[in-house]
Structure 1
Amino acid sequence: MKLTKNQWIVFGVICFIGIFANLDKSMIGFTADKLISTYGFTKTQMGNLSSVFYVSFILVTIPGGWLVDRFGYKQFVVISLALLTVFSFLFGSVTGLGAIVLLRFMVGFGQAGYTNGAPKIISEHYQSDQCAKVQSFVVATAGIGGILASTVGESMINSNWHYAYYFLSAGYLVALLAVIFLMKDNFKDKGAGNAVVKAPQQKAGFFDAWKNKNTLLLALAVLFSNLVGVAMLFWLPNVLRINFNVENQGTLSKIMVAFYIIMTIAMASSGSIITKFFKGKELKFIFVSSILTAVCLVVFITAPIYMLAIGALYVSVFTMMLAFSALLSVPYQLVPKQIIGAAFAVLNIGAFVGGIISPQLVSLFAQPTSYLYSFICLSVCMIISGACALFVKKPVEIVGGTENE
């Protein structure tokens, strides 16, 4: 990417925040296991850590996108990082169940602030043709966070789980200072070929994004796509045990780390792939990638040969992440800029609704000795996701007195 110095600084800051935010989200599973073994908490009690996080995330997201559009991202992101710094530190300092659950609820508020602020940061600092590439790298921090959580994070938690959250708090503090001192809200960059000038914009209404058909269709596509992604991450170790008799913990860890690495590569490269080879055909690209994912999921769960199954698994995660990243990049071209924050809030709600219902959907179709029907269901969800993208309409442009799409 050809970016100016200021744009590279912004890029570095939002990626740094993304890595720590996703490290936080990925570490909580390891933390829950440690709390169960250390303090005797039940799995049901630790399941509340996930539930309260999603509840607080959605509570902030509903008005969050609109607030970012109306008042700017900087105040919103600064407050969210301050909350994450304080409550992550406190989370690592307590041992009581009530305090642990309450503080995880508060961490959800902070996480939602960054998630809702990031799209606005990108749209403010980069041209439309740069947004897809930047967005793909920001989304790829989910994979980096997962890799770090599966290696460094797990090691720190097993050694002393309190220190793991002190480390997170320190990272959030560094990010907070970077946003305060390095990022400007009303940004103008005079670098050659990269000028980004804010034009006067009409104030966005609270429900404008919810009235936008493209936003709703993309949110529905994200819901079904993220449903499949969360299901894969949540159930994959058990699927490998039940369907493929993989019992060795070392083998399972290697498969999961490779899964995260491929996921990261797919997300990081998606922006370049789309802008270079599929510019103007993003929606068809999403559909084709979704269909390929659906096919590979069926091959994975039905393959008679173990290596064929693992190959299909890795191809499916690659194409799934390409489709998901593309879904998160097309709003910059299809949704009016004045509601971009609120539009991503709608997409985030769709993603988290998919994440919430995903484990229950898989368990509904799972059998004691096979996840065959569950993965067929996931394949259907990917097809629905791709089909939703096909119904999205590109904005009509007025050129020379005539309408062009």
Structure 2
Amino acid sequence: MEVQMEKKQVKKSSFGLIFALMAGYSMIYMDKSMISTAIIPIAKSFNLDTGQTGLIMSFFFLGYSLMQIPGGWLADKIGPKKVLMLSLFLISVFSFAFGVVSSLMLFVLIRFFAGVGHAGYPSSCSKSIADNFPQERRTFIQSLILSTSGIGGILAFTLGTNLVAMNWRYAYLALGSMFFIAFVLVAIFVPNTVKETNPQAEKAPKISFAAIITNRNVLILCLAMLLLNFLLYGNMSWLPSYLSSKFGLEIAKVGLLLAVNAIFQTLATLFVGVLLSKVFLGKEKMFIVSATILSAGLILAFVASNNLVLSTVLLILISMVSVSAFTAIFTWPHKIFDQSVIGSSIGIINTGGTLGGFLAPMILGYLIKSASGSFVVAFSFMAGASLLCGLTILLVNVNKEAKN
């Protein structure tokens, strides 16, 4: 009777739970995307070169990377709701702070601590999904929430870009306010951890953190995320500068183009969730390898194109295919790892992704600077990373669960 009542309560609040998690994730991705347009007027105002702007973007991911594993561990130990609320509160505070400072050192430090705040959200979100939904629904719900990467992009490249065009400081004051709203939504709609009342589950042996962090599949997926995020975050960080430089577009027009791109990215994430739950169930490895190979070819075609229309089409295809690979990797743990260690597993795996986010802006900024402003070498580097991601995925042993 107690189990049935708990399940009924979770089902009743599932819409509010999903809405709150999507609201927070939308802000997370808006923040990640908006910095790439905000950095243009910031660089002009403070005479920063590509190496220095890359530093600002990279230190965000350093803070993100350092706290990913502790954030996932905390989600498993104290429950995801507390970590979600702490994350959103910290990001809100540091978004406000970023909008009022005026030196390179403070820009770098504040983005570092904003990254610390971001670190707890992905793993806690996945843990909340695992705690509140049956396994057969988790892949679709996870992909539904990940579709907010596109929603966050739309907000960043419409509302955010227009605010940046007016005054980049206004954009971060608005962002801090929206993070606080997301904090309130999580406080209201996300339930506390559902108490496990299944006697068999209570008797099951506990999986140690050491076993999780040394698990073959966890480490392989962590490396795959690192490689794929050279492409994802490289694109996110440098696309506005690339489009502005190559085609002479103003910030507002760049924002409009990237907003359209984000719409297609959102649709792709939703669609791939259905594909992975139905058509490619048990065939995730083949799906990811195919997507990473196709992404590499598209990125090379994109950087070779000198036509704005063709480049826009290629950009949309790159975003749709690469985000499909990301969604497949991110949702895979729900199928191959035990629910009790989802937070820690996702935290470790996503650490690879955030390390890619840390390294990509700096490495690509250096490559662009070394090539006298040319983006060809940098984008070729991203294509190579995508190919290596696909090769890495081939090493995953789908018959080997985290507890083994």
> TM-score range with shorter-chain normalisation?
0.7 to 0.9
Is the counterpart of residue 389 in structure 1 residue 393 in structure 2? Answer: yes
**Higher RCO, 1 vs 2 (CA within 8 Å, ≥6 residues apart):** 2
Aligned to 1:400: none
Instruction: Return the TM-score normalized by structure 2.
Output: 0.83
- Which is further off, 343-352 or 326-335? 343-352
Structure 1 residues 207, 100: closer, same or farther in 2, change over 3 A? same
C-alpha distance in 1 between matches for 2:330 and 2:181 = 27
CA deviation vs aligned residue, 1:112-136 (integer Å, no higher than 9, x gap): 1222311111111112221111111
Secondary structure of 1:277's counterpart equals: coil
CA deviation vs aligned residue, 1:265-315 (integer Å, no higher than 9, x gap): 212221112212111111111111222222323333446876555434432
Does structure 1 retain, via aligned residues, the 8 Å contact 2:296–2:382?
A: yes
Aligned to 2:73: 66
Paired letter, 1:263: Q
C-alpha distance in 1 between matches for 2:104 and 2:299 = 38
Matched residue pairs, number? Answer: 387
Structure 1 residues 162, 294: closer, same or farther in 2, change over 3 A? closer
Does structure 2 retain, via aligned residues, the 8 Å contact 1:294–1:380?
A: yes
Does structure 1 retain, via aligned residues, the 8 Å contact 2:36–2:240?
A: no
Aligned to 2:322: 320
Paired letter, 1:60: M
- Which is further off, 280-289 or 29-38? 29-38
Secondary structure of 1:314's counterpart equals: helix
Structure 1 residues 232, 367: closer, same or farther in 2, change over 3 A? same
Equivalent residue runs for 1:107-256 within 5 Å: 107-187=114-194, 199-200=201-202, 202-237=205-240, 239=242, 246-249=247-250, 252-256=254-258
Does structure 2 retain, via aligned residues, the 8 Å contact 1:70–1:204?
A: no
For residue 20 of structure 1, the aligned residue among 15, 19, 27 is: 27
- What is the identity percentage for the equivalent residue pairs of Structure 1 and Structure 2? 30
Structure 1 unmatched runs, 5+: 190-195, 398-405
Structure 1 residues 311, 183: closer, same or farther in 2, change over 3 A? closer
CA root-mean-square deviation: 3.2
Does structure 1 retain, via aligned residues, the 8 Å contact 2:16–2:189?
A: yes
C-alpha distance in 2 between matches for 1:103 and 1:5 = 39
- Which is further off, 121-130 or 89-98? 89-98
Aligned to 2:48: 42
CA positional deviation for 1:62: 2.9
CA positional deviation for 1:227: 0.9
Aligned to 1:260: 262
Equivalent residue runs for 1:211-360 within 5 Å: 211-237=214-240, 239=242, 246-249=247-250, 252-302=254-304, 307-359=309-361, 360=363
